[in-house]
Amino acid sequence: MPLQQLSDIWTRVRSRSDPGSLLLPSAAGDPHSPPDILRSSNDITHEVREVSAHPVKYGGSSDIYSATWQRGRHNQKVALKIHRVLDASDQKAIKRLRREISVWKRLEHPNVNAMCGLFLGLGVVPAMVSLWCEEGDISRYLKVRSGDPNIGEIKTTLMIQVANGLKYLHQHDIIHGDIKGANVLVGDDGTAKLCDFGFSILLAQHSQSFTQGSNVKGTCRWMAPELFDEEGAAHTFASDIWATGCLLIEIQCAVLPYHTKISDQQVILALSQSELPPRPKDMPDALWRLVMQCCSAQPPARASLETILFHLQESHAYVRLTRMMTASGGLEPTPNSVLARIKEGLVHSAKEDPTLYSRLFTLPDSASYGDASRLRRYRKRSLRARGQWIHAGLHERVTSAGGGSTPRKS
């Protein structure tokens, strides 16, 4: 591809005709003005203390300050995010930012980073206050735990949580628009939380950080190819799915998407030619098939979030159930043939009860699948009996834990 053509593609992506709100028209097309973000229910300036003198972190379009939020007798460390808007006269950008903030304030999901309120006095627009995540982003969190014997289960758990958070956003007609490892924080309890949805693209034409370069720098590796195809291309639910597939690569293999490409220009050239992300070493077959379903060149052909969750929860259920069963000592050492039977039983039972995988995902670790003698009897059961045994055992434990509905009988 000629250099000028590549330059045109780069410029086209930088200058989208309307980066605006990433809310779909059903949610963002309200002709009435959004509620004022400065109302007292959002403003917690008087409750925030000990704001750091300088930013403690820098993002592509924002600065992060640390502070303490005094909530009655309780103090919590919080992050204050300041978007670097070019100037106070850019009322269009500020109005859009206010609309996004008003939507974010109403969201509530364990896998979406909650907004605590607004802090005034650090910039042209209020700083957005959210709880501080000491663990950092998902890449840092996994790097620290790379030697954990259950790292595979930890990764799958985080993938499921990310997909659940994105499903929640999509159900509320919100397109994230910037899914990548840096925008997935991990809370103190190890829970993945999506952050920065909508804001990076929103500020692409209004932020100081983008006046010297491209708004796709560092982000193009997660962007769907159709975003490079035409002028005015907009992020969609489908482009979020593509980015999710790229994030699965990042989580599983600790490499960036298009890891064989050194520069962003090489990545953009590959995307403009509809080149799929290359498969990293040590990527499991089943997970790679799911990545390819997410990263289809045709947006309508990409996997739904329901499909993504089903496959991730299926993988998680197999790994977790095996760990739970072998922990009792009944299957130590565990022959591959027995593990294969466990998987067969899971698949059979899931056909009878499609909610099995999601319910197993929420099952507390304290649950166990019985003593060694019970597990030895399991080996000799038929396929249908094995499915019924797993199904009944799971239902018993989910019910006793206070979750799940009564499954259909096998």
Average pLDDT along the chain: 76
Checking if the pLDDT of 309 tops 90, the result is yes
Angle ∠(265,250,354) on CA atoms, nearest 5: 130
Exposure on the CB side of residue 218, measured as CA atoms within 13 A = 11
* Nearest alpha carbon to residue 168 among 317, 294, 306: 306
Q: Distance (Å, rounded) from C-alpha 312 to C-alpha 331? A: 25
Exposure on the CB side of residue 384, measured as CA atoms within 13 A = 2
H helix intervals, 273-408: 285-294, 305-326, 336-352, 356-362, 372-379, 383-400
Checking if the pLDDT of 211 tops 80, the result is no
pLDDT digits (tens, 9 = 90+) for 102-152: 777 788 999 999 888 888 888 767 788 998 998 999 999 999 999 998 899
pLDDT digits (tens, 9 = 90+) for 245-265: 999 999 999 999 999 999 988
Give the pLDDT confidence score for residue 34 in this predicted structure.
36
Tokens of 314: 């299926």
Candidate ranges 15-19, 149-153, 327-331, 353-357; pick with highest mean pLDDT: 149-153
pTM: 0.77
